Structure 1
């Protein structure tokens, strides 16, 4: 049975606090899942189970290697741990994976998994392959509380936060599916992670931080922080903390440049407005021309796609001197959606205006639409130029504009 905190969880923004479970329910068999625990957490769990501190420290190191470097899910596979210890570990611990309810593959190679936690909560992850990279789109919550009007997830109620183990578990399952064990830095199919799945990551800060620290650990999953992007709709008070304590790339779901429109489509704007959000971006630790902030901008017909909107976007980004690029996202319709996608001509015009203002503005190519997994791959505004070339040209224009 799901454990719900008696007091409501404080959620910043215009939305009233709602009660959500503080943690995943314990396993029915009483075993502890090691996925998502830090090294110290594994050691502490071993000590609690009865191992002497010195032995627990050694076992924790061995378990960490087998779990995160070798992808082991069975203690009997751990050849440097005495066979007599295997049953003892198996009785007390488990190396879990989320249950796969459904796995789909798009015509374009995009993969989507519907996952289920031990307490029966469903969430999704998406893998987007490309010629030179493979990006895993990871969820941080079951449902969402933001109610962004263009987002299908926003129509769901927030059920609970995902745990660090459930966040890391998505990466582990993707590695399983792609056959990427033992973990190696070269030749990977899964090269990038974006926290752009279900939920607002900054409303689940502690678990997202703990999960990403495991993902970035050099002795395990070993993904560089430069290959991880955390997306937020603009939870301003937590953005600086994310930069300081997690230190990954930042993406901001901007989607509008006027108060009235952003209030409508991203209601969090009523609490933290555009100017306050952009100042937080300017203050984000580590942002520079080599690590630009990405601004996501969904293209909605006759709502946020005018030439005037494009010019205002350039003005705002230049005003705050932001090292930025803009991803223009063609709206992916869903049943009952209140918006339509901008026309290709309108999107091109918008992109050109932003580009002429010295800011790279590629158009994201929808991926996985046939399996409702359009969680996009970046595409250049011109098919004849690479994204890197367009970025260089945009930087040159920006420098020339002074």
Structure 2
């Protein structure tokens, strides 16, 4: 398979060009075609010499994935499925918003980005891990999802959430390289404060991310406020229990000085007991964190159910009474099975990738 130029920094392009006998200034021209004009073929790079275009086309590709399915009407939450060069599938979710966080009118687009094909962490409520882990996504495959989303919507992606398929911190090197290009003025030029990394509690990865000197946002898939409950739904808690995770988060908060988000999917009979709400409030207070409650989005083939709306509101009110910043987020993509991995699961069952 040919490598994609999307993963290249300006310096890496200069090295490629030097080997081929071309001047260094061509690297900036290529970066402009890739990230400003967002071309998908080398022939469109009209200010490059024809011989260079032919050489690049023979050895490289630009877009490392193709869109194979889009679900959801234009202007609403939409999920799309992408096929990599090796035939494996990943999915991403486009979430439009008409209002900014402060309530003012502001059209913006958020993309939920995948970082792996499948997932090795096996959270019991999630479709992503039902087919197991296949491989990490490359830097170019991560970035290609963003360009694909802009092709679909015809709009710039304003916010990125690494909360799709896979554990981003388990693919840290490729994630970091993608983040560098996402934030670069020669790349997508998306500010760090518009990027959120969501982790299931990968403590080693959290330490690496803490050393990455950019003010990105952090979200933790907590889903249980005690080891007993969390271990029932998140096997990662057996390797990194709350006794390891909470101190790592406290270190993050001390160094970063901004609020983290605790993601908490409410599952009937599993983690929605009102006693867990009080425990969750204590964790949030200790971390000075906000809580995002998400009533469970049903996954075909899994037994879990969401609690009643009344119960969810009661759980939420306990946090409010404890003066914890909290939001209740019903899945915007419930009608299109937008929970991670469902579209890939169905398509893979229909047409498995070639070995």
Correspondence for 1:116: 83
More strand by share: 2
1:226 to 170, 177, 193: 193
Deviation at 1:83, TM superposition (A): 4.3
2:217 to 226, 249, 252: 249
8 Å CA contact retained: 2:316, 2:328? yes
Deviation at 1:108, TM superposition (A): 7.2
Deviation at 1:287, TM superposition (A): 3.4
Deviation at 1:374, TM superposition (A): 4.1
Unmatched segments (≥5 aa) in structure 1: 1-25, 181-187, 376-402
Instruction: Establish whether residue 39 from structure 1 lines up as the match of residue 25 from structure 2.
Output: no
Distance 2:159 2:127 in 1: 24
Q: TM-score, normalised by structure 2?
A: 0.88
Correspondence for 1:71: 38
8 Å CA contact retained: 1:111, 1:127? yes
Deviation at 1:303, TM superposition (A): 1.7
Aligned length: 330
2:110 to 135, 146, 150: 135
1:11-30 equivalences under 5 Å are: 26-27=1-2
1:94-113 equivalences under 5 Å are: 94-106=61-73, 109-113=76-80
Please list the CA deviations of residues 115-170 of structure 1 after superposition, one character each: whole Å capped at 9, or x if unmatched.
Answer: 11111111111101111332100000000011111111121210000000000000
Deviation at 1:235, TM superposition (A): 0.8
Distance 2:297 2:250 in 1: 30
Instruction: Establish whether residue 335 from structure 1 lines up as the match of residue 293 from structure 2.
Output: no
8 Å CA contact retained: 1:71, 1:176? no
Please list the CA deviations of residues 52-89 of structure 1 after superposition, one character each: whole Å capped at 9, or x if unmatched.
Answer: 5xx1x211111011101110122332343234543333
Distance 1:297 1:232 in 2: 12
8 Å CA contact retained: 1:149, 1:338? no
8 Å CA contact retained: 2:220, 2:262? yes
Q: TM-score, normalised by structure 1?
A: 0.78
Runs (4+) of structure 1 exceeding 6 A deviation are none
Tell me the SS of whatever aligns to 1:335. Answer: coil
Deviation at 1:106, TM superposition (A): 4.7
8 Å CA contact retained: 2:67, 2:148? no
Distance 2:283 2:290 in 1: 13
More helix by share: 2
Deviation at 1:283, TM superposition (A): 0.8
2:172 to 205, 208, 217: 205
8 Å CA contact retained: 2:64, 2:85? no
Correspondence for 2:351: none
Correspondence for 1:294: 261
Correspondence for 2:233: 265
Instruction: Establish whether residue 149 from structure 1 lines up as the match of residue 124 from structure 2.
Output: yes
Instruction: Establish whether residue 284 from structure 1 lines up as the match of residue 252 from structure 2.
Output: yes
8 Å CA contact retained: 2:74, 2:153? no
Distance 1:43 1:156 in 2: 40
8 Å CA contact retained: 2:299, 2:339? no
8 Å CA contact retained: 1:107, 1:370? no
8 Å CA contact retained: 2:69, 2:82? yes
Tell me the SS of whatever aligns to 1:283. Answer: helix
